[in-house]
Structure formats: C-alpha cells, structure tokens
C-alpha cells in the first residue's frame, strides 16, 4: 500500500546551526531553532472501510556541539497495534527488532556506551509511549518511523478517527519514592505511580513558539460504504480527491500546534453498517476473526427502573469550558430520569462532596429532587487534585447489597481522566464495579481515553468522547439512549473463538460491537452469533466469513488481546506467569506492549567514542485551552518544567523534579495560603512509607552517605538558607565530587553554577541548590550500591 510519504518527508530542514557558546550557564541555551531535538512530526496513512493503517515519522536534529540523546514522551491511539519500527540515518534504514523490554533496553544502553546510533520505542501506558534516540552527532538529523493499524469507532452510523498529539499533565498521587528515578520526566516516582517520571514530559510555557513542524495526511477509501459529512472537530482541513476516487485529508497550512487530538468524523449510514465477520489466515495456518455485530432495530429494549450515580470531576484540570460542559452533562442526565428511577450525586477533586438530600443514599428522582440537584451542579467550580478511586468506590457503595435484580445499576462518570495511577485505580475499582455499568464521558481536547474505556468495560458500560461544547448535545442524546440495560448481552460466536477479546461483551443501541479471536485452522463455512436480549430471550444470527489478505485484522485483534491481558495484570492479577505470557504473545504477533520494546541499532559505524551524550527531554505543548500545568492538580509530585529558553540535561531536569519535595517541606507552614490541596500534606510527610509491593523495592544504600553530604542536606532543610555556611559546604562538596572523576564531572560543573547563583544573591538559587543536591544523592547512592527498581513495568 502506498503511503505517499515522499510528499511529507521529515528530513527536509533548514541549515543547522550549532551552539558552541560555553557561557550558556546552568543548562541554558539559545539557538535559532530553540535547541530542542524534535523538529518534525508527520502522520500519513489510509483509512479503508472501518480500519486504518498509519506511518508516524518523528524527525530529530542535533543543533548542539555535543552528541545528543533525545527523549520524547508521546501519545498513540490505545487500540492501534504498533507493528514496525525503523531508524533512518541519511539513506540508510535500520529495521527495529521487537524484544523483551529488559533485553531491548540493555541492547540500547550498550549501543549508546559503544558510541553507536540507536533508538528504542517503549510503551508506558496504552496511549503513552517513550522514544529515545541516542548518539546523534552534532549537525546531524535522524528519523524514526512507527507503523500501526487500528479500528475506527462507529456509533449511530458515524465513524470516528482519533489521533492524539500530546501527553497531558497528569495528577500524580502517592508518597515520593527514594532513590534514582526510573525515567526522565518532571514528576517524582511515588508509591502509587512508581513510573511517574516516565509519563510526565516537561511542558512548554504558554505562548512559546512551536518548535515542531506538523504534517498530517490521510487517504480515505470508503470500500463501498457511502461516505458523507466529513469533518474535523478541532482542526481546519484541506480536502481533495484522487483519480482513483480516494478522499485526501490534510491539515490546513499553519495548523501546527501539537496540543490536541486530531479527530475526523464521517457518516457511513446506520443502514450500511451491517454485522459481518472478516477472517485472515497467517503463515502458521491460524485464522484470526474480527466480528462486527450491529444491533438489529427489532430487538426489544429494557425499561427496568434505574439506580443512577452521577460522579462529576471538579478537579483543576477541568477548569474552563470543560467544567461548564461537565455541569451540563450531569444536569441533563439527571433531568431525564423519571420517578421510577433513583439517583445520587458525588463531586470530587482531592476531596469528596455529596450534596443534600442524596448524601449517602439514593433518592427517588422526583421533580423537586432533580431540580435541587441540577441547581446545585450549576454552581460547581473547578479546584484541587483528581482522586478518582475514592470517588468511584464511594459511588459504588451507594448501591444496595445484595443488588436488586429488578433494577439497573448505573454510574455516570464525567471527567478528563488525567491521572497517572491507572494501575492502582483499576485494582481498587474492579471488584466493586462488578454488576454495575459505568458510562464514562471524557471531556477534553486531550482525554485519557484508554483509562475511561477500560472503566466503562468493567461492567459492560460505554465510553463517549466530548472534545468541544458543540459535541456535547449529540453525545448526551446518545448517552440517554444507552443509559440502562443493553439490547444484547453475553455475545458469543459458535464455533467458539480462542483468545477472544474482549472476553465478554454487550451490545447497546446504535453502538456496533467488535469481537476478535482465533481458530487454530481454516475458518468454518458459517458461524452463529448468539446472545441474550433485554427481555431474557435468545438471540441467534448466522454469518458467512469473508476472507481478507489484510493482516490488519490480526494486528487489531492482537492489540485488543494484549490490552485485555495488560488490564488483568494491572488490576491485581500480577504474577510472573501472566507477564511472561503477555511478552510471548506480543513477540509472536509482533505487536508492541508494556513488556516488550522495539530497538534499532546502527552497527555500521561508531560516531561517539566513549558514549558521553548530552541528554535532552523534549518538552510538549500544554493541551489546548488549559490555563497552566498547575491546573492539572499535579503540583504535588510533578513540578512545572523550567523555562523553554533553558536547555536542561537529564541531570538538571531530574534535579528540578527532585527539588520539589524540599520546596514543599519549606512551604509547609503556608499550605493554606498557597491553596495547595490536602494530598500535598500527606506526600510531604517525613513518615516512612513502603513502596508499592507490586514493583521492586526502592534502592537502599548499604553504606552511609558521607558527612559532607549530610551537612548539605541539613542546610537544605532550613526555611532560609545560610549563604555563608552553604558556600563553604558547597566548596567542600565540589572537592569531594572532583575526586570521583568522570562520573561526577557534570555535577561539579553544575555545582559551580549553583555557587555563582548563591554569590549573586539570585532568588532562584535555593531551588537550583536543592535540585542539584537531589541529583548528588542519586549518584552517591548508585555508587554505594543498593537494590534497583529497574524493571518497574513488572
């Protein structure tokens, strides 16, 4: 299949200018291109029917005087399977290899130490990935490519293509862990989010010039479906048509901010989307099946009374139009209830609020009660952090136990889902959510879709995306139609599929269901879809498999199966056998997962003898219409990135993150006036806390740290620094660090800059000193030995 990538090559660049200014200071840099490594992002592909294939190209350039390692934390669609990875250097292309994650990281690290170019792609969350490209020589540009395939979402006769462009700031709960971080981001690893430093890229300041050139091109082949009303909700489009009848969609010139999802929608007609079964046979003789079940109009609907809990996110990241939309959504749904229904309302940020008269119990949805609830919701404003788990557990506790079989139990969950503790949340909610349907409404231009889809999937609920106020009314009508029992449950295929994903599925009005699985040999001549209707009757439908040569069918099923297994792992079924099984499955079908990684090594030459590199983490845009990073409620463990005019090495960036605990400790007496949420008080406690048991323990030093370091730590804990004493202690520390040799050379250089700031009386000096000190601890503990949290993904 032709992707037409020659028209949007990421290798076209203006002449590169190096920065040889040795006076740039403590991680500082100014260049014509801003000094950031990611220069271009190109997305190209084709939609065929209701499936798509994409090639994502990221171009990196080194404008500095030293060899570079670039780190980019970026999003991809959760349900798309990544099946190919390449590194391109000039005319040379190096194919990546999918390996067990630890083995891939070892191979990458060894290549960097040997001075060879290398790249590695890793999955942190179903929608969050990390790209590292190392040993880029000064003045050189390289390109990495990812190939992926995924399904379009289809509801009410409308197909939706969504491609995320930014990893939004996330709320990071928990107590910071001691020892070296596992990633290069700005947030501290905590017992609730042990890999927080891997999902928290630094953020560009508002108004900062966009450093990345974006190109986006899709060819759309309807494959016999009638296509109409093509539109993008958040971007301007250029539309054209080829001689072959393909629709070509490109972003309009000047639309280059990587601060929101690209969302395309087009109507295919409800009457044209029919139940069907596509099958693909691989070289091993296995048959992969992808089943689409469309709800027949004749199926009876359920009119059982409902118990509805409305859970509304009022955290800081919901500020602005999102809070307005969330209030409207909750209010509209409450207003559609009848006196046969009962309801309750919970508001949450880092606190729970249960307004009267429903506090603690379900109340009958009388006109008066509905009016009072809607009136209360109209006054809700955004604030605080995003503690989802206590809110959902409290909402589920409203339902009577044992459940009433004659009533439908429903949770309407309205949020942007921007939290980092997905694994912890899934573990805590899974059991309590059994027998209850969660309808999740994600409101934002950069929603945590994978989390909300999984929560909705626990009890056979549904997820809806609201990326603008214009979209809200349409979504609420759909939610109202589906807020209750599905029209078809316990959907199965006969003969039965192996490795079915999802394992159990329900069918709602207007929302076709996709199931995937395998047969060990040839496909049967005919299959039968079975299920149970809302009135308890049996449903049967016979289908004839349609064979295809497109392996996207296998990729989409394999990715869905991997996600199911990963969610089982995250939800508390953690054991080596399960993680090993996921790894083996990922390697067999060539689909990236959290336990594997793609690695590519250029073995043709050594470009950097010694392997010393300048490490830079690519800052990302703040999501569209977010006010500041603080609005995400991440103030506790994910401090804001430094100004983009400052180039920060990995050392400096990690020091900035680590310094946050010192800053919080120093400000403890003024918490209330700073309006910092209550969770910060818990996180800055000096009480010892154990790390999450599902991860390897944080490192501990078998030998005590040297007295000169303890002296510095004592000085750092003072609310006001004693500059004279601190300067003397710093000089002693630099002497000791110089004795460590090359491994501490950067610390010595940065320590001298801290001394200069202290001598100049800079107001930033305390921040930089505490940040530098945190990095010194990290290096000393590593030299002293101790257990590593290296395999955090397990």
Coil, strand or helix at 370 = helix
Confidence band, pLDDT 50/70/90 cuts, at residue 302? low
DSSP line for 713-753:
HHHHTSSS--HHHHHHHHHHHHHHHHTTGGGGHHHHHHHHH
Q: Residue 330: its pLDDT value, please?
A: 95
Average pLDDT over residues 360-367: 92
Of 292-301, 531-540, 750-759, highest mean pLDDT:
750-759
Between 140-144, 237-241, 641-645, the lowest mean confidence (pLDDT) is in 641-645
User: Is the peptide bond prior to 508 cis by the omega test (within 30 degrees of 0)?
Assistant: no
Cβ atoms of 757 and 640 within 8 Å: the answer is: no
Average pLDDT over residues 266-295: 85
Coil, strand or helix at 529 = strand
Q: Residue 300: its pLDDT value, please?
A: 59
Residue 414 has pLDDT above 90, yes or no: yes
Coil, strand or helix at 215 = strand
Q: Residue 26: its pLDDT value, please?
A: 30
Residue 507 has pLDDT above 90, yes or no: no
Q: Residue 347: its pLDDT value, please?
A: 96
Between 137-151, 279-293, 698-712, the lowest mean confidence (pLDDT) is in 698-712
pLDDT tens-digit profile of 7-23? Answer: 333 333 333 343 443 33
Between 260-264, 454-458, 564-568, 719-723, the lowest mean confidence (pLDDT) is in 719-723
Bigger pLDDT: 35 vs 283: 283
Mean pLDDT of the chain: 82
Q: Residue 782: its pLDDT value, please?
A: 60
Average pLDDT over residues 503-530: 85
Token pair belonging to 466: 């609201």
Residue 688 has pLDDT above 70, yes or no: no
- Map out the domains of the chain as residue ranges: 5-153+201-264+592-617, 283-302+495-550, 306-482, 649-784
- CB-based burial of residue 353 (10 Å sphere; 0-12 exposed, 13-18 middle, 19+ buried)? middle
CA–CA separation, 38 and 61 (whole Å): 7
Confidence band, pLDDT 50/70/90 cuts, at residue 105? very high
For the stretch 167-194, what's the b/e string if a residue is b when 16 or more beta carbons lie within 10 angstroms of its beta carbon? bbbbbbbbbbbbbbbbbbbbbbbbbbbb
Residue 674 has pLDDT above 80, yes or no: no
Instruction: Find the helix or strand (DSSP H, E) in which 456 lies.
Output: helix 449-458
Using CA atoms, how far residue 412 sits from 169, 406, 465, in Å, is: 24, 19, 13
Torsion from C-alpha of 109, 111, 113, 114, nearest 10 degrees: 160
Confidence band, pLDDT 50/70/90 cuts, at residue 628? low
Residue 107 has pLDDT above 90, yes or no: yes
Fold of 306-482: Rossmann fold (3.40.50)
For the stretch 727-763, what's the b/e string if a residue is b when 16 or more beta carbons lie within 10 angstroms of its beta carbon? eebbeebbebbeeeeeebebbeebbebbbebbeeeee
Cβ atoms of 392 and 311 within 8 Å: the answer is: yes
CA–CA separation, 84 and 592 (whole Å): 9
pLDDT tens-digit profile of 368-382? Answer: 999 999 999 999 999
Confidence band, pLDDT 50/70/90 cuts, at residue 271? low
Residue 482 has pLDDT above 50, yes or no: yes
Cβ atoms of 331 and 343 within 8 Å: the answer is: no
Give the single-character DSSP code of 276: E
Residue 470 has pLDDT above 50, yes or no: yes
Residue 95 has pLDDT above 90, yes or no: yes
Structural class in CATH, domain 5-153+201-264+592-617:
mainly beta
Residue 558 has pLDDT above 60, yes or no: yes
Torsion from C-alpha of 56, 102, 785, 787, nearest 10 degrees: 110
Q: How far is CA 48 from the centre of its chain?
A: 26
Average pLDDT over residues 565-582: 84
pLDDT tens-digit profile of 122-181? Answer: 999 999 999 999 999 999 999 999 999 999 998 888 899 999 999 999 999 998 887 788
Average pLDDT over residues 398-402: 88
Backbone angles phi, psi at 318, to 5 degrees: -90, 10
Average pLDDT over residues 600-607: 97
Partners of residue 136 on adjacent β-strands: 68
Instruction: Quote the percentage of the chain above a pLDDT of 70.
Output: 82
User: Is the peptide bond prior to 502 cis by the omega test (within 30 degrees of 0)?
Assistant: yes
Cβ atoms of 677 and 385 within 8 Å: the answer is: yes
Contacts of 211 (CB under 8 A, 6+ apart): 33, 34, 36, 38, 39, 204
Residue 709 has pLDDT above 80, yes or no: yes
Average pLDDT over residues 98-119: 96
């Amino acid at each position: 299949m032709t992707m037409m990538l020659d028209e949007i090559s990421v290798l076209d660049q203006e002449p590169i200018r190096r920065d040889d200014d040795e006076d740039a200071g403590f991680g500082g840099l100014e260049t014509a291109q801003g000094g950031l490594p990611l220069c271009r992002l190109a997305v190209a592909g084709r939609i065929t029917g209701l499936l798509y294939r994409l090639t994502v190209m990221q171009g990196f350039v080194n404008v500095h005087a030293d060899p570079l390692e670039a780190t980019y934390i970026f999003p991809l669609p959760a349900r798309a399977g990544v099946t190919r990875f390449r590194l391109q250097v000039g005319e040379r292309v190096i194919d990546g290899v999918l390996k067990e994650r630890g083995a891939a990281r070892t191979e990458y690290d060894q290549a960097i130490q040997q001075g060879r170019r290398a790249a590695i792609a890793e999955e942190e969350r179903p929608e969050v990935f990390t790209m590292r490209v190392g040993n880029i020589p000064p003045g050189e540009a390289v390109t990495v490519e990812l190939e992926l395939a995924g399904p379009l979402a289809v509801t009410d006769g409308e197909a939706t293509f969504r491609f995320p462009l930014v990893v939004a700031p996330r709320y990071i709960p928990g107590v910071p862990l001691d020892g070296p971080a596992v990633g290069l981001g700005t947030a501290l690893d905590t017992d609730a989010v042990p890999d927080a430093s891997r999902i928290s890229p630094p953020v560009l300041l508002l108004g900062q010039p966009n450093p990345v050139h974006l190109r986006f091109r899709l060819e759309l082949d309807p494959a016999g479906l009638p296509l109409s009303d093509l539109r993008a909700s958040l971007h301007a489009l250029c539309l054209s048509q080829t001689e072959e009848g393909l629709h070509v969609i490109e972003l309009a010139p000047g639309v280059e901010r990587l601060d929101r999802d690209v969302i395309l929608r087009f109507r295919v007609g409800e009457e044209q989307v029919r139940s069907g079964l596509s099958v693909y046979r691989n070289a091993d003789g296995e048959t992969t099946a992808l089943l689409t079940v469309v709800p027949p109009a004749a199926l009876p609907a359920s009119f059982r009374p409902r118990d509805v809990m409305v859970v509304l996110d009022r955290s800081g990241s919901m500020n602005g139009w999102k809070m307005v939309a969330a209030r409207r959504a909750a209010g509209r749904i409450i207003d559609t209830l009848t006196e046969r229904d009962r309801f309750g309302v919970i508001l949450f940020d880092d606190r729970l609020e249960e307004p009267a008269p429903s506090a603690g119990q379900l109340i009958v949805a009388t006109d008066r009660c509905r009016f009072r609830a809607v009136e209360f919701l109209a006054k809700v404003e955004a604030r605080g952090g995003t503690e989802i788990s206590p809110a959902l557990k409290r909402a589920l506790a409203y339902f009577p136990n044992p459940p009433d079989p004659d009533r439908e139990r429903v949770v309407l969950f309205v949020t942007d889902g921007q939290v980092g503790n997905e694994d912890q949340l899934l573990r805590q909610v899974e059991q309590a959510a059994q027998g209850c349907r969660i309808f999740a409404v994600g409101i934002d231009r950069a929603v945590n879709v994978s989390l909300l889809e999984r929560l909705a999937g626990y009890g056979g609920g549904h997820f809806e995306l609201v990326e603008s106020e214009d979209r809200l009314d349409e979504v609420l009508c759909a939610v109202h139609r589906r807020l209750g029992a599905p029209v078809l449950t316990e959907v199965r295929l006969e003969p039965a599929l192996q490795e079915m994903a999802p394992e159990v599925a329900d069918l709602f009005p207007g929302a076709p269901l996709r199931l995937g699985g395998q047969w060990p040999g040839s496909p049967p001549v005919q299959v039968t879809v079975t299920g149970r209707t809302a009135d308890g009757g049996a449903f049967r439908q016979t289908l004839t498999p349609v064979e295809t040569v497109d392996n996207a069918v296998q990729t989409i099923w394999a990715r869905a199966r991997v996600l199911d297994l990963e969610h089982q792992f995250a939800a508390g079924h953690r054991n080596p056998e399960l993680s090993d099984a996921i790894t083996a499955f990922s390697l067999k079908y060539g689909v990236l997962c959290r336990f594997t990684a793609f690695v590519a090594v250029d073995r043709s030459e050594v470009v950097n003898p010694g392997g010393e590199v300048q490490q830079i983490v690519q800052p990302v845009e703040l999501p569209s219409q977010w006010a500041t990073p603080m609005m995400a409620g991440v103030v506790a463990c994910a401090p804001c990135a430094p100004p983009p005019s400052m180039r920060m090495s990995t050392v400096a960036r990690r020091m900035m993150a680590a310094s946050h605990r010192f800053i919080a400790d120093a400000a403890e007496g003024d918490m209330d006036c700073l309006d910092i949420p209550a969770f910060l008080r818990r996180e800055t406690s000096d009480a010892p806390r154990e790390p999450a048991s599902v991860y390897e323990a944080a490192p501990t030093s078998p030998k005590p740290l040297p007295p000169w370091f303890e002296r510095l730590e004592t000085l750092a804990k003072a609310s006001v620094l004693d500059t004279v004493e601190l300067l003397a202690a710093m000089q002693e520390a630099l002497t000791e660090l110089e004795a460590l040799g090359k491994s501490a050379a950067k610390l010595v250089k940065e320590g001298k800059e801290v001394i200069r700031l202290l001598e100049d009386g800079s107001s930033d000096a305390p921040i930089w000193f505490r940040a530098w000190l945190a990095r010194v601890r990290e290096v000393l503990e590593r030299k002293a030995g101790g257990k590593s949290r290296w395999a955090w993904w397990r």
